Amino acid sequence: MSRDHVQSAERFGTGAEAPFLQLLARGASADAYEQPVLLARAEGLPPERVRELEQAKRLALRVRAEMEGRRRREAELSALFETAHDLAGLRDLDAVLQAIVQRARSLLSTDVAYLTLHDEAAGDTYMRVTDGSVAARFQQLRLGMGEGLGGLVAQTARPYVTPDYFEDGRFQHTWVIDTGVRDEGLVAILGVPLMIGPQVIGVLFAADRRARVFEREEIALLGSFAALAAAAIDTANLLTETRSMLDRLTRANEIIRDRSAAIERASDVHDRLAELVLRGGGVHDVAAAVSQVLDGTVEFTEAAAAPTAPLEASRIEGHAVRHGDDWIAAVTAGGELLGALALRGHPGLDPVDQRTLERAAMVTSLLLLARRSAAEAEQRVRGELLDDLLDARDSDPRVLRERAALLRADFDATHVVLAARLDGGADDADQAAAARRRLWSAASHLAATRRGLAAARDGGTVLLLPLEPGDSPTSLARRTARQLATAVHEAVTVGASAPVEDLATRPDAVAAAYAEGRRCLDALRLMGRAGDGAAAEDFGFLGLLLAGDRDIAGYVERTIGQVVAYDERRGTDLVRTLDAYFASGMSPARTKDELHVHVNTVAQRLERVGRLLGDNWQSPARALEIQLALRLHRLSSTPGH
């Protein structure tokens, strides 16, 4: 970038972000983002200018990384949906399996991807589909059961990954397999099982010709493709079985018509489900579509609301299970139970319709995983923005407002910072960590619904929530404590800060407010009020020590404000009477001497004070707070203060 380009960039506000916006717009590589800074230094621009460019570069690289991550996630979901659509219109099994292997190789950016299937007749497995392979011997491999990494996957029905195949001793090496792998030049291999119900029918692999560590997200993605490949094979087998059955029943016209109608319904539901996936439908849309095809009522229920025995049987067997007059199909993903599809009042269900219900359960699991992935991505972004505010990593008001707007948060509104922590004792470290994760998840959900932010910090969770008109930090803290406790089924203590305004222009105020919220949280726990919520204003004179801004006027107003206001309205002398009363050791007789009034006058004034402050105003704790408030009021009323 020439000096003319730098001068042209300076016409954009500070100018620092202009060259990086151009790099973002044209999708430049990460290395290109160093050029504006290097050129500025080479041209001897002022250090302040170089620092601005450095800051803009870091922000642009973060934006680029986020954009790359989103593009990658979109590509993954798009590939899964395209594959699901191919499955719905299955005509050529080999073409569908080849597409699955190609997409898996592309999205995981590996050198080779391949798929093996179990040969029941020969008692071994054989290479069915490869993509990126160059060695003929590798493409013709047959593996005995239990041999190689694939044998370990098939034996355990679990994914396995090795960063260096020939150095890994967890599985049985054979000369035939090792020779084929060596011919292909493979080093890092990831294998996931192809399963139909509890049965492993093959293995889907992704491999590199160099050492590599596969991330959990990549293992989960390959597992999703494996589920689709298994479904494609199962669907092809189902179609084959159906055609064979129709051939054997050619003389039974009624059965043929019934079977044809079932197949038509299966094809119809496949088309409908594919359409729903492509246009972004939800799980209840899937249930409604299957209800129409099966001529019954299909409902999606959470796992906790479904009957336990048939749900567990469906999960283990991989098929829909009859339960009285209903059918239950478990919705699972990678062994995790996500819920169930229940077909109500339909005891007579033929095998094709049963498979249709099972396919709907599989599509439902894909939609739930996609929704979870999107929600987790948003939670991470909300947490990153709050972390930046707490650590004062970003002070550009415009950028902060833009980032907040993307998350539907309004930084011009008044907010409260809340520090939340679990108070239930965990038996071990794993349970404690799981409880903290539940708290963070519940806080993130609450923040998303309240247009706020949440992040995990200091063994607990911090929330930044807008303060609604008529609400107070105290009520917000108590309400948040109840909501989080309900969500995680454990007591949660919440400390709140005073209201914080102008977050975009005063991002450092968030860290100070968080410190105040933590002090309130610690005070609650020390006072035996675990599971409650409070702000500094709830602790009387202790609130002056807990609050970050030492709100003396607010403390005086909360403690004796009614008495001061009464004197101002009526021209009475209640404040002076209180001062004399406490100075005289709370003796009305000595108070009347101090004030030079009759003792009945003192009694009348103290009675009026009691009506204004409440019957317990002379209790030791209240008396201490009132005396402190009187002294602060006297100091604030003295000229020069």
* pLDDT, tens digit (0-9, with 9 covering 90-100), for 60-78: 777 766 666 566 555 555 6
Token pair of 443 as six digits? 């806080």
* pLDDT, tens digit (0-9, with 9 covering 90-100), for 193-204: 998 888 888 999
428 vs 457: which has the higher pLDDT: 457
Token pair of 440 as six digits? 């963070």
Mean pLDDT of the 33-53 span: 80
Q: Which CATH number fits domain 90-242: 3.30.450.20, 3.30.450.40, 3.40.605.10, 3.60.70.12?
A: 3.30.450.40
According to DSSP, residue 172 is labeled B
Strands 321-323 and 297-301: unpaired
- Topology (CATH) of 280-374: Beta-Lactamase (3.30.450)
**Statement: 392-546 belongs to CATH 3.30.70.270:** yes
The predicted pLDDT at position 424 comes to 67
Sign of the alpha-carbon torsion through 494, 499, 502, 505: negative
Nearest to 120 by CA among 199, 29, 207: 199
Confidence of residue 181 (pLDDT cuts 50, 70, 90): very high
Q: Report which residue type is found at 264.
A: E
Backbone angles phi, psi at 111, to 5 degrees: -75, -35
Backbone angles phi, psi at 203, to 5 degrees: -140, 140
Residues of the chain with pLDDT > 70, as a percent, come to 77
Give CA–CA dist 508/511, Å, rounded.
6
Give CA–CA dist 489/304, Å, rounded.
15
154 vs 429: which has the higher pLDDT: 154
Query: Cα 409 from chain centroid?
Result: 17
**Per mean pLDDT, which range of 148-152, 213-217, 430-434 is the poorest?**
430-434
The predicted pLDDT at position 5 comes to 41
CA angle 267, 269, 275 (to 5 degrees): 105
Q: How many CB atoms lie within 10 A of CB 368?
A: 18
Q: Report which residue type is found at 506.
A: R
Q: What is the DSSP string of 224-277?
A: HHHHHHHHHHHHHHHHHHHHHHHHHTTT-HHHHHHHHHHHHHHHHHHHHHHHHH
pTM more than 0.75: no
- Residue 187 scores a pLDDT above 90: yes
CB 36 within 8 A of CB 20: yes
The predicted pLDDT at position 358 comes to 78
- Residue 514 scores a pLDDT above 90: no
325 vs 559: which has the higher pLDDT: 325
Partners of residue 492 on adjacent β-strands: 422
According to DSSP, residue 212 is labeled -
CA angle 407, 409, 413 (to 5 degrees): 170
What ranges make up the beta strands (E) of 90-216? Answer: 112-119, 124-131, 142-144, 160-162, 188-196, 199-208
Give CA–CA dist 147/169, Å, rounded.
12
CB 185 within 8 A of CB 138: no
The predicted pLDDT at position 260 comes to 62
**Per mean pLDDT, which range of 51-65, 236-250, 538-552 is the poorest?**
538-552
Nearest to 208 by CA among 123, 114, 275: 114
CB 289 within 8 A of CB 273: yes
CATH number, span 552-637: 1.10.10.2840
The predicted pLDDT at position 17 comes to 76
- To which residue do tokens 């319709």 refer? 353
Q: Please, what is the average pLDDT of the chain?
A: 77
- To which residue do tokens 């160093």 refer? 34
Domain ranges (residues) in the chain: 17-69, 90-242, 280-374, 392-546, 552-637
* pLDDT, tens digit (0-9, with 9 covering 90-100), for 435-447: 888 888 888 888 8
> Using CB atoms within 10 A of its CB, is residue 557 exposed (0-12), middle (13-18) or buried (19+)?
middle
- Residue 45 scores a pLDDT above 50: yes
- Residue 147 scores a pLDDT above 60: yes
Nearest to 188 by CA among 112, 106, 103: 112
Confidence of residue 526 (pLDDT cuts 50, 70, 90): low
CB 90 within 8 A of CB 96: yes
To the nearest 10°, the Cα dihedral for 89, 92, 96, 97? 150
Instruction: Give exposure, 345-357, as e/b (b: 16+ Cβ within 10 Å).
Output: ebeebeebbbbbb
Backbone angles phi, psi at 294, to 5 degrees: -85, 0
The predicted pLDDT at position 336 comes to 66
- To which residue do tokens 């349970």 refer? 431
600 vs 25: which has the higher pLDDT: 600
Identify the three-state secondary structure at position 459.
Answer: coil
- Cβ neighbours of residue 365 closer than 8 Å, sequence gap 6 or more: 331, 332, 333, 338
The predicted pLDDT at position 268 comes to 65
- Residue 430 scores a pLDDT above 70: yes
The predicted pLDDT at position 162 comes to 93
Task: Sort residue 606 into left (φ over 0), alpha (ψ -120 to 50) or beta.
Answer: alpha
